[in-house]
Structure formats: C-alpha cells, structure tokens
Chains A and B, each alone.
Chain A
Amino acid sequence: MSQDQSTFRGEIKVASRIIDYLSSGLYPSPGACLKELVNNSYDADASIVAVYVKPDADRIIIEDDGIGMTRDEFVTHFERVSESHKREKSELTPSGRRPKIGKIGIGFIAANEICEVMEVYSTKKGNSELLHVTINFEEMRKPAEERRRTGGDFVKADYFGEILETTKADHYTRIFLTGVRGEAQNILAGARPQSASARSRSLYGMSSASVQNALADPTLKSWKDFDSYSETMLEVALNVPVRYHESWLPNPLQRKLRDIESAVETLGFEVYYDGTELRKPVVFSPGERGALINRFEFKGKHVAAQGYFYAQHGTIQPRDLHGLLVRIRNAAVGEFDDSFWGFSPSESSLIQRWVSAEIWADDRLEEAMNIDRRTLREAHPAYVELRDAVHKHLRAVLSQARSQLYQSANVERRDQRASVAITDVTNVVRTKVTQAARAESFEKNWEKAVEQPRMRRALLKKFTVAELYEAVIESAQGVVTEEQLTEILRRLTARLGA
C-alpha cells in the first residue's frame, strides 16, 4: 500500500477459504447483500440507516449515523478479510449496548455481488477527516491465477482512498453502490416479473402502518405476491434488528410477548428503505379463528435459547412466515425454515402449517453458523441440541394446537350446525302442520328431545334413503293402518322422486 498525506491505495486480500464462497455466489439474493451492509451499520452503533434504491436501483445509497471509520480502521479491516478484526477489541459495539453481528468482516464486500463499484464516505465524531474510498470490484472477476497472492490469499479488489475534510461534529458512513449489475438491478428495482399469479403489489412509499395492513391482508399468500422490490425490502427487514409492527399479533397474544418486543426496541435501531420504516415483516392475522402463543425457553449443555411458537387455526399466510426462524445476536440466520430443522413431515403434517416460531439462540450457536450466515452446520453439538429441543417443543405445540384450536373449533362448529338444523326442523313443522295446537305440541316434544346429546349428534347425521324409509315405517307402524301406511310410502316415494 502506498501512502502520502491525503491519498492512499491498496489491495483487499481475502483468505482462500473464503474466496470459493464468494466466487460461487455467497448470497442468494441482492437483499441478502444489502442486509449485510445494514448490519454493518448496526455494528457501527448507528441508530438510523437509510437505504435508497428507487427508482432504478442503478445507484444505491446506504447512509448511517454510526461512529464511522478512519483511514487506519479501513485499511486494517480490508488488509485481510477473514481475520476477526471486528471483534478484536470487544464482542459489543462501541456503545456497549449491542452484541456485534459481524465477525470476520466479510459483510462489507458483500456488495461485490451486486455492483461494480462501491464508494465509501466515512467520518468519526471529533475528527475533521472525511475518508473517501472507491473500491473497484472488477478485479475479482479476473481468473483465479491472476488474483492469487502469496500465502494462498486472493486480491479481492483494488481500492483508492483520499482524505477530505468535514466538520468535527459529523459522524456517519455513506455508501454509494454504482454499476449495479443487470439481474440484481431488476430485482432491486422491482422490474423483474414475479410468479405468474403476482398482482404486482408494491410496498414502495408506504408508511409502516400501511405495510402492516398489506402484510395482514388475508388474500396475501406469499411475499412473491409483491413485486421483487418489496420482496427484497421484506427480506432485509426480516433479517436486521428492527422493531416489530405495532399490531403484529392479536392483542391478547401480543401482550404475552411484550418482553421480546422490548428487547428489540431497546436496541434502538431504525432502518428506512426509500423512506419506509422497516419493521419485522412478521404479522399474524388469524381473524376470527383461534390462535395461541407458546413460549420457548431452553438451557442446554451446548446452547441456550428462547423465543415463541405461534399457532393459529389454519395455514399461516403468507407462507414465508411458516416454520422456524433462528436469530443469533438479533440477526436472522436465513429465513423461516418450513421443515422446522428437519422435523418429521408426516407428524401432524396439517397442523405443522399452522405454526410459526422465532427463536433467539445464544452465541454458542454462532460457532455452528456457516460463512453465508444463512445455514448452520447440522453436525455441530449446539445445533443438534437445539434442534432436538425445538422438535420436542414443537410436538407439544402441535398437540396443544390440536386440542385448543382444532378440536375445540370442531365442537364449536358442530354446535353451530346443530342449532341451524333445529331451527330448520321447527320452521318446516310450523309451515307444514296447519293446526297450531298440533305444531305447538310437536315443538314441546322437539325442544325436549334436542336437549339430549344423542339427539343433537343425530341432527347432523346423514341418512340414506333406505334409512329414511325404515325410520318412517317404524314410526308409522301401530299408529296408522296398513292402508294409510301404504299411501304414506307412496307419497314419500313421489316426494323423493319429484
């Protein structure tokens, strides 16, 4: 690296074990890259991050009010991506209030998967130096042989830096992503067609209250019903440590999770996406159907975790919320996993789709996390232990859902149908029996009869035609003459055939 007073340049070296991930595409979507940059702002103790994407996503700006960085910090950070500079001094952010999400410092170069050039402007409070660095990611697309350095490292990209001036009161980091690549640009801008059934709904420009309403819309089957711009926005919101929506659960259930809401609010982290405040896109709206919350607390030998299981009567929609989401240090590990980490699909398969769970695991699970921050190593003891605990708990939740939501709902439904049947029979008798006294007499007997549980069950029974004839004959025998019975059966046959 050459240095003079105001300009500097250098190479970003990436450990060879990481370059393979990067070259093959570490992040599955542009949103996954963006959330890395947002989480970097969180680690810099930012209270507010603003992301500007629209209208075209050809020049994306990410701005935070965090502590910023100096030239030396930048150089140290990029000298060799893979060493844990981020947690060298502390596991917590400088304010001491937040556990740092980033570990090996790879998040900053996540942008290389979506753009050609990243410009960084950053300054620290009390320092009049404004760091301006331009990172050119084109270098990484050269063949591996050309990029290889001694010691197995790879040059990730060249950067050029300069020191500008600003006021000492300023503290921020501003990132400009330019030359956003074709497909990524289409996805980020919302120009890519979604599923065939997509109605091209967009969350662009909405207040967080309107976003909440859009997410609670019972016709919303999947986030793919939105345009890709909105889907990306939700993807970022799900991952980063932002607050929940004001009414993300029915009120009585939400009160049960007040401590979880408060824990997130205490982090004091707000993200705005083209002006829309991001909240966790977890909104459950069971409507008139029943729902329940079951808290999860686990302290094992290798890991501890806590969270909640939510279940409702009926499949959870949008389907993106169905399954298990694990957070480590307040950042999500991937998305909701609808297999609940490999839970038996045949076990209460219907009711499984009624359940959504969010779990905060302690740092020991981080050791099981792969570099992509989306997946976990399934053989890791912490993973195994937590998976078993989750499965055990899920079984209990499924059982609770079956008894509280499914069976009780069934009884309720049966009662409703029986009441309808009673009214119908009463009405038929009133209409067809012309003598009021006889009708009244029937009603007295009828009301008494339907109080019997056996009779109420019988009301919902379906009869075959043979059973009907049998019932009529048995009821008439001994009451009417054989001749009258024959006439009754003739009329019944004609009535049924009419």
Chain B
Amino acid sequence: MSPPGRPVDRAMHDDRPEKMTIRDLWVTQATDYLADHQGGARAQVPLYLTLSGAEGRDIQRFVDAGLIRRTEVGGIATEDQHLVVAVESSPGAELALRRKFPGLRTYGESFHSLIRGTGMMSFPEKKLRAMLRASIINLDLTTPLDADLSSDGRISFPVLTWIRKLCEIHSESPRLDWCLCLTLNGDLNWPPEVWKPMQEFLAENFNREPRFGLAAQQVLGGSLYAAILACGADDLSGLSADEKQKLLMVFVPKKITQLVHAEGWRLRTPYNLRYGGHSGFASMVTWVFGFTWDRRSNSSPFSVYRDSLNDALTAAGHVDARGRILTI
C-alpha cells in the first residue's frame, strides 16, 4: 500500500539534474503543443497523460510552468481538470497523488491494463479511449524494453505494441497528432533468440537506408556498428551499459517507425537521449516522439517511412550528470 520503495517512485522522487532536464523537456513539449494546437477536437482530449508515480513531480513542473492552474488549497483548478490524467496502479500511490493534487483525474490501474494488453483486437472503450487520445502521453517507465517470444518464434515488444495501439486510437476521426515522451531502463535482458534477429533487423536497415546507417554508426561507435552489421554475435548481453543505451537509441525509433508508418504516421524524434548509468544511478534512455499524420502515406508510404527514419538520430545525445544535453 505504501508508495515509497517502488523503483518508479524512487526514480520519480529523484531531483537530480538529469531528471530535472528531462522534465523540462516534457514541459517544453507541452508548452509548444498548447501554442500550436488550440481548440477544436483537441479541446475534447487531455493535454497530458502520465505515469507520474506517487510524487507527481512532472505534474508539479506543469503547475510551476503555469500550464495547470491550482485552487486555493492546492487542488487542480476546475477549468484545468480535463488537461491532465495520471495512471497509477498502486492504490497507495494514487492516494498520494490525490493528496498532493486534489481534483487530479487518476486511473487506478496499470497502463497495460488500461490499454487492454498487447492484443491488437482489444481496445478500451468510450471514456478511457477518449482519455488515451491525449496530446502528450508520458510513458516514464523504469523497466527495460522487454521482448515477448511467441511459440512460432515471432518477437514482440509490449511497450512498442502499446505505442502502436496508441497510434491506432489517435487515428480515429478526427485524427489527432500527438506526442510521446518515452523513458526506458537502458539495460537489455534479451535472450539469444531476440538478440540475433534484432541485429539482422538493424543490419538490413543500415544497408538499405545509408543515411540512417551513417547516423547509427555515429551513435553506436565504429566497433559496435560493425559487430551489428556482421550479425556475428549470438548474444550481446555483455555489452557495456553505455553501449546498451546506444543500441536502444537506435533500435526503438527504428522499430516504432516500422510499426506505425503504414498507418500514415510520420515520426519525428526531437529528443533521443541517454542518461544515468553512473554513480549508482540506473542507466536510462529517453525520447520525445512527435506523431503527425502524413498525407503522403496513401500514395507513397515509403517516403513517410524514410523521412521518419532519417530523423530518428539527428537529436541523439546524452544528458550528463550536471543536466546538460550533449548531442553527438
């Protein structure tokens, strides 16, 4: 019941410079979105849906930035209650959030349950579905990118499937552009059955899309790039923490692009950053993705795919211990 102690709460409780920089990115993103998208169908959906943890530090930053107004007693102002939604499966953490922000809309279940798992035939209905059409969704996870292996050998990544489902939900009429803030633990605990196809998948794309390949080489470094291109290793779990972070920075945008471009979504990646992994802090990777519907998708979906891919690593970098963003 007590919220403290969960990794997510420890992580969100952190006010170390890296995390503060990341939270500032989220606020910037929201400010930009509000400036660019006023009224219309967007007024019917939340601005911000977050897995904020018990502390709600990101919500506090939104409040501090004036994006969300508060009442005399610190609650969320009636006029702004539609703007923010927190998803929190722990009753203790949910209560902590309501204590800190009375009037905050909370959903007391896991995001996995909220989005009805990873099946592409099962979606939330009505109110929940509308809520998941939020303009900015912040999946600030402390878990690594897990992979599921089906009996027929197919590999799927539950978190990435959630994103595909979110794209599907945002595709409904009226289609809404949206933004995803995604944070994952930088560790990779895949079995060999995943490592091998993952290398093949990336190597094929490095070859097919030279611009992407070149950018990936810059991010990964020569030797790791060459190793992936060679597809020689059965298992890359022995990579250093930094190398695993870099691998994720390349793999995740690529995979999301592949999953959603056919639906007409052009992916922009304004932030692709790694941080932590030192001084006892967990190794993390974080992205800000913008999903916009591209009219070209009907006639030339491959152009949409290529543009998304070419953009995936242009803002790659890392946040140092002082909170500075250093691009590659």
Contact = CB atoms under 8 A, between A and B. Distances in A.
Interface of A: 50, 52, 54-56, 59, 61, 63, 119, 121, 123, 130, 132, 164, 166-167, 170, 174, 176, 178, 202, 204-207, 210, 274-277
Interface in B65-97: 70-78, 81-82, 91-92, 94-95
Contact of B73 (A166, A170, A206): A206
B116 interface: no
Nearest to A274: B102
Nearest to B72: A207
A176 B71 contact: no
A166 B1 contact: yes
Interface stretch (B24-32, B103-111, B153-161, B182-190): B103-111
Contact of B2 (A52, A63, A170, A206): A170
Q: Which of B1, B77, B78, B103 has most chain A Cβ within 10 Å?
A: B1
12 contacts: A54-B81, A59-B106, A121-B91, A167-B2, A178-B108, A202-B78, A204-B78, A205-B73, A205-B75, A274-B73, A275-B73, A276-B73
A56 B99 CA distance: 16
A205 B103 contact: yes
Given A205-B71, A275-B75, 19 more contacts: A50-B99, A52-B95, A54-B75, A54-B102, A55-B76, A55-B105, A61-B95, A204-B78, A205-B72, A205-B78, A205-B103, A206-B71, A207-B72, A207-B73, A210-B72, A274-B73, A274-B102, A274-B103, A277-B73
Contacts of B1: 121, 123, 130, 132, 164, 166, 174
Interface string B309-328: 00000000000000000000
A185 to B, nearest CB: 12
B61 interface: no
A352 B71 CA distance: 39
Nearest to A121: B1
A54 B103 contact: yes
Q: Which of A54, A56, A59, A164 has most chain B Cβ within 10 Å?
A: A54
B162 to A, nearest CB: 23
Contacts of A54: 75-76, 78, 81, 102-103
A52 B91 contact: no
A393 B103 CA distance: 45
Interface string B292-315: 000000000000000000000000
Contacts of B102: 52, 54, 205, 274-275
A164 to B, nearest CB: 6
Contacts, number: 76
Q: Which of A56, A132, A167, A205 has most chain B Cβ within 10 Å?
A: A205
A121 B104 CA distance: 21
Contacts of A206: 71-73
Contact of B77 (A56, A63, A205): A205
B255 interface: no
Contacts of B82: 55
A91 B92 CA distance: 33
Contacts of A167: 2
A170 B92 CA distance: 13
A275 B71 contact: yes
Contacts of A202: 78
A119 B1 CA distance: 12
A359 B297 CA distance: 75
Interface in B37-88: 70-78, 81-82
A166 B70 CA distance: 32
Contacts of B91: 119, 121, 174, 176
B196 interface: no
Contacts of B73: 205-207, 274-277
Nearest to B77: A205
A202 B75 CA distance: 14
Contacts of A50: 99
Contacts of A164: 1
B175 interface: no
Contacts of A274: 73, 75, 102-103
Contacts of B2: 166-167, 170
B129 interface: no
Interface string B1-30: 110000000000000000000000000000
Nearest to A165: B1
A204 B103 contact: yes
Contacts of A170: 2
B211 interface: no
A276 B98 CA distance: 13
Contacts of B71: 204-206, 275
Nearest to B71: A205
Contacts of B99: 50, 52, 63
B127 to A, nearest CB: 9
A201 B7 CA distance: 43
B95 A63 contact: yes
B125 to A, nearest CB: 15
Contacts of B108: 59, 176, 178
A142 B276 CA distance: 56
Contacts of A56: 105
Contacts of B81: 54-55
A193 B2 CA distance: 38
Nearest to A51: B102
What are the 8 tightest A-B residue pairs by CB atom distance, in nearest-first order? A205-B71, A275-B73, A275-B102, A54-B103, A274-B102, A55-B81, A52-B98, A207-B72
Interface string B103-123: 111101000000000000000
A130 B92 CA distance: 12
B217 to A, nearest CB: 50
A166 B5 CA distance: 11
Nearest to A229: B78
Nearest to A227: B78
A276 B74 CA distance: 9
B258 to A, nearest CB: 38
A61 B78 contact: no
Contacts of B70: 205
Contacts of B92: 121
Nearest to A205: B71
A371 to B, nearest CB: 32
A459 to B, nearest CB: 52
Interface string B170-213: 00000000000000000000000000000000000000000000
A210 B75 CA distance: 15
Q: Which of B72, B91, B108 has most chain A Cβ within 10 Å?
A: B72
Contacts of A130: 1
A254 to B, nearest CB: 24
B75 A61 contact: no
A174 B108 CA distance: 14
A277 B72 CA distance: 11
Contacts of A52: 95, 98-99, 102
Nearest to A276: B73
A174 B94 CA distance: 12
A54 to B, nearest CB: 4
B130 to A, nearest CB: 13
A174 B102 CA distance: 16
Nearest to B80: A55
Contacts of B74: 275
Nearest to A172: B1
Contacts of A174: 1, 91, 95
